[in-house]
Amino acid sequence: MTDLKTEEQACDIEEVSLDEGRRMLDDAARQHLNMSAEDFIEAWDEGRFTDPDSLRVQQVAALLPFGR
């Protein structure tokens, strides 16, 4: 049986604004793929990544809900 974490052990949850989320997405896209968030979103939506399951692409794609 798994013990539940106490309140002190639980992780903190921090909300980010849409602007902060867009900056996070843009920073990740530039760091991992050398492109802007705008270019990433366009390429993602159009299915232009040859390997969309690659770690670099997925690290950016995971942030899409924060930056749209």
Between 11 and 57, whose confidence is greater? 57
> What's the pLDDT at 68?
87
Q: What is the mean pLDDT of residues 11-21?
A: 91
Q: In this model, does residue 6 exceed pLDDT 90?
A: no
Q: What is the pLDDT of residue 13?
A: 86
To the nearest 10 degrees (0 to 180), the angle between helices 37-45 and 18-33 is 80
Q: What is the pTM of this model?
A: 0.79
